Amino acid sequence: MKNCRTRNYKTQMEAAKKGIVTPEMETVADKENMDISRLMELVACGQVAIPANINHKSLSPEGVGTGLKTKINVNLGVSGDCRDYTMEMQKVDMALKFGAEAIMDLSNYGKTNTFRRQLLEKSTAMIGTVPMYDAIGYLEKDLMEITPQDFMRVVRAHAEEGVDFMTIHAGINRRAVEAFRRSGRKMNIVSRGGSLLFAWMEMTGNENPFFEFYDDVLEILREYDVTISLGDALRPGCISDSTDAGQIGELIELGHLTKRAWEKDVQVIVEGPGHMALNEIAANMALQKRLCHNAPFYVLGPLVTDIAPGYDHITSAIGGAIAAASGADFLCYVTPAEHLRLPDINDVREGIVASKIAAHAADIAKGIPNARDIDDRMAEARNDVDWDRMFDLAIDGEKARDYFESMPPEDKHTCSMCGKMCAMRTTKMILEGKKVELYAAQ
């Protein structure tokens, strides 16, 4: 094993294959309390990705994949109907405050590179983008006028700016489209990038440029050590469409593209559903791991029911917890505004917390070392009725404190729900040999 401070490798995967310990590997091993040799083995075989663009100088690297804590991603960015970059930067602050490991800039209006550069300068979290979203604004061309070379220009621009991972919808090729057409879906294509590529393919009569020129994409990503996040253009948009021929057909293509990327030493994350009934989630996680050779799996939800607009952070957290406990490595948050509008700062907070809860619950379930330690400390604080310690340990301590202080109890060693009948108080007094007198205390 070599420890190398001069970079004689292109990507984290290449370094791992050569037995070189990178500074990014050292950081991740320390965060995960994992032996560096074991981490390097997982990076070398593709089961762990460390997205770390050579130009993202403020990054605090994170690992995504086998044996590591479940990571969460926060989506943000401007749209044509909401162009307030100041609010988007407030969302960035919120994401960093709550410890989100990744932020995806999904801006799809105007010249987005100024915001993205500010984001990269500020963010210690890894940054992801979807170049397909940015193509029309960046190139100032309508969809049908964009050439495959134009798409490559956008990919290179994002890589040069410092983006750590990019969603590339390379799997929606002509074979996958045929399977989609046969499936007879209720909701067709719900991926924004996937629908744009499908439209481009149909209007031009050409193959998906990200599939046809996949080697060119990989060369760009390898140059800057950008991780490819293979987008699921045919993910289900309702539970009726889950696990259909379109979704699985594309997943087979993504497995093939995963191996091709690894051959070029480009790290891979594979994206997954979507909307899916509870009883299908575990099987889908196992299927992805099998078809995509245990590459890290990144899921949006899955949302386990379609009838909860305004509460989809909850439907997503339910599905996300099951997915991560069953093998998913990376959860994309969903806010209460999903399916309704661009989320505001409060929506972002609710989405982050729900996703953090799901990720942490899954880490406990799959036995991530030390994951349960903080829960044990919370149990001790509750037993001692130590409110300040409880608030410090809580995922959202500010909200917990606000709730407690909004209706304060007479006795600080209780809360306003139980008062003198607090079970902790009663049991502790009896164990200490004291008498419990409730009526006199009323």
DSSP codes, 34-48? --HHHHHHHHHTTSE
- Residue 298 assigned ligand-binding role: yes
How many degrees, rounded to 5, is the angle at CA 202 between CA 193 and CA 240?
Answer: 60
- Residue 207 assigned ligand-binding role: no
Say if residue 137 is preceded by a cis peptide, omega within 30 of 0.
Answer: no
User: Does an H or E element contain 64, and which?
Assistant: strand 64-65
DSSP bridge partners of 103: 74, 127
Contact 162, 225 (CB under 8 A): no
Rounded distance between C-alpha atoms, residue 96 and residue 92, angstroms: 6
For residue 227, which of 160, 288, 159 has the smallest C-alpha distance?
159
- Residue 360 assigned ligand-binding role: no
CA distances from 189 to 72, 109, 184, 196 (A): 24, 21, 11, 10
Mark residue 123 as left, alpha or beta (left: phi above 0; alpha: psi -120 to 50; beta: remaining): beta
Rounded distance between C-alpha atoms, residue 180 and residue 174, angstroms: 10
- Residue 378 assigned ligand-binding role: no
> 254: helix, coil or strand?
helix
Q: How far apart are the first and last CA of the chain?
A: 70
- Residue 193 assigned ligand-binding role: yes
Strands 297-300 and 2-3: unpaired
- Residue 422 assigned ligand-binding role: yes
- Residue 234 assigned ligand-binding role: yes
- Residue 256 assigned ligand-binding role: no
- Residue 82 assigned ligand-binding role: no
- Residue 45 assigned ligand-binding role: no
- Residue 275 assigned ligand-binding role: yes
- Residue 192 assigned ligand-binding role: yes
- Residue 44 assigned ligand-binding role: no
> Tokens 């593209």 — which residue?
257
DSSP label of 435 = P
> Tokens 């390097």 — which residue?
40
Contact 327, 287 (CB under 8 A): no
Binding residues for [4Fe-4S] cluster: 415, 418, 422
Residue ranges of the binding site: 75, 104, 133, 169, 191-193, 232-235, 271, 275, 298, 339, 415, 418, 422
- Which residues are annotated binding-site positions for Zn(2+)? 275, 339
Residues in the annotated binding site for substrate: 75, 104, 133, 169, 191-193, 232-235, 271, 298
